[in-house]
Structure 1
Amino acid sequence: MADIFSPSRLGGTSQAVALASACLSILLVLYLMFFADLYRRPDATESQVAQTLEGRPPLDIHIEMMSLDPIRQTVEARLNFPERRADAAQAGGARVRLSDGGFVRELHLPADRAAGATSVEFGLDGSISAYPFDVYRTDALIAAFAGEGAQEAPLAVQLTVWERLPAWEARVVSRPARPGEVGLPISIEARRPPAHVVFALIVYAVMAVIAVCGLAIGVLAACGVRKIEAAFASSLAGMLFAAPMLRNAMPGAPPLGVAADAYVFLWVQVALMIGLVLFICAWARRGSPP
């Protein structure tokens, strides 16, 4: 009992308590900051982007973001055209032209019946190698026309956008028209939600901590600072296989080879392998005989 309450033991306990308290305080502050940021972010809702042409009623187009493929760098959207279209009642109906700078697609809207929903893909600029901070953008143009040939006349466009996109934060806004552009110029941007970014960063941090622990076990055993315990061999082997499972559990887990893998995951595996080899070598040299 006297050793427990000795000054040296009490001093070490006080330092440990102070360090643990500081770590918990930092964790609590980060926790509150994270949830405060989530609370301030508004939920995705419908937004409208409109083009005005004097004396011409707008063509209503509803667009819903369906999915985003970061590998192919495309976003799929579904276009719906409400039945109430005064502009499409003209002979010949209306035509809608969509372009993202790399493709042009034209849709024909008949005047005598409602047009069905149509799926389109917009190409995006971005790279998944920046995971989890990857951002994808594109500038698109939506134009509408009535009539054919010499009778063709531009129509105003009113775009109603539902920006909710699974596992992404999407945003569609109007942008300034470039020279020669006719129609409604828009900009589409998508990025990963803060919760996904924080989760991915925490997983990479956990992998780094596991690597440091595994390397410390191997180095201390090899240097003879700590007693060789055979159970550590299975622990190190488990760490070696746990890191890939953690990596694949991240939200929207990208293919192997993104920049974060080169900075963290690859070296985690190397550190764990070195720690396991050092421990096995120390066990082979100084381990207890049968």
Structure 2
Amino acid sequence: MAVPLEVAVTDSLTSWTVDASETDAGAGKVLDFHITRTGATVGFGIAMCVVLLILPICTLRVSIQTVRGGKQFLPPIVTWFAVTLFAVLPIRNLFPGSPPIGSWVDYTGVLWVVMGLATSLALYITAWWRQAT
């Protein structure tokens, strides 16, 4: 027994675009829903990925130059490395939808960023050790 029903689709999900289209399926009508991220949200996510990528690149450059002897060891930079390491999780949580721990962004981005920053910190401490001896 078919029950008549009315469906209203409103585009009120923050950072999502919702569209519904009606198709005729013989005995009744079928609604197809298309839900996608807005362009601004996708752009924001890409910008956050770029920020996360830039952090280890900058710190690795500084630490490698210091270990090689091309730059002078500066103790305050150790705190800069530590701050960047601890800034990763708050930056990660800014992603649209605040993805749960273990999501794709953790495996494809955050893990590599943390490893790069930790390596930078270890290299810089190695440069300090060499200078001290």
TM over 0.5: yes
Q: Which residue does the alignment assign to 1:264?
A: 109
Shift of 1:271: 0.4
Aligned partner (choices 12, 16, 23) of residue 164 of structure 1: 12
TM-score (norm 2): 0.88
Aligned partner (choices 61, 67, 83) of residue 238 of structure 1: 83
Q: Which residue does the alignment assign to 2:34?
A: 189
Q: Which amino acid aligns with 2:91?
A: L
Q: Which amino acid aligns with 1:170?
A: V
Tell me whether 1:209 sits opposite 2:54 in the alignment. yes
5 Å-filtered alignment, 1:10-159, equals 96=3, 144=4, 159=7
Q: Which residue does the alignment assign to 1:109?
A: none
What 5-or-longer segments of structure 1 have no aligned partner? Answer: 1-93, 97-143, 145-156
Q: 1:223 to 1:176 in 2, by over 3 A?
A: farther
Describe the SS at the equivalent of 1:173: strand
Asked which structure has the greater CA Rg, the reply is: 1
Q: Which amino acid aligns with 1:224?
A: G
Shift of 1:176: 4.4
Tell me whether 1:279 sits opposite 2:127 in the alignment. no
Tell me whether 1:247 sits opposite 2:92 in the alignment. yes
Residues 20 and 32 in structure 2, CA contact (< 8 A), matched pair in contact too: yes
TM-score (norm 1): 0.43
* Residue deviations 1:185-214 (CA, integer Å, cap 9, x gap): 110121111111111110110010011011
**Cα distance in 2, alignment partners of residues 224 and 193 from structure 1:** 48
Residues 10 and 18 in structure 2, CA contact (< 8 A), matched pair in contact too: no
Q: What do you get for the CA RMSD once the two structures are aligned? A: 2.1
Q: Which residue does the alignment assign to 2:66?
A: 221
Q: Which residue does the alignment assign to 2:22?
A: 174
Describe the SS at the equivalent of 2:9: strand
Shift of 1:95: 6.5
Greater fraction helix:
2
Residues 236 and 276 in structure 1, CA contact (< 8 A), matched pair in contact too: yes
Which 4+ stretches in 1 moved above 3 angstroms? 157-161
Q: 1:235 to 1:160 in 2, by over 3 A?
A: closer
Q: Which amino acid aligns with 1:253?
A: S
**Cα distance in 2, alignment partners of residues 238 and 265 from structure 1:** 15
**Cα distance in 1, alignment partners of residues 6 and 127 from structure 2:** 73
Task: Give the count of matched residue pairs.
Answer: 133
Residues 163 and 172 in structure 1, CA contact (< 8 A), matched pair in contact too: no
**Cα distance in 2, alignment partners of residues 176 and 283 from structure 1:** 72
**Cα distance in 2, alignment partners of residues 191 and 95 from structure 1:** 31
Tell me whether 1:198 sits opposite 2:46 in the alignment. no
**Cα distance in 1, alignment partners of residues 7 and 118 from structure 2:** 56
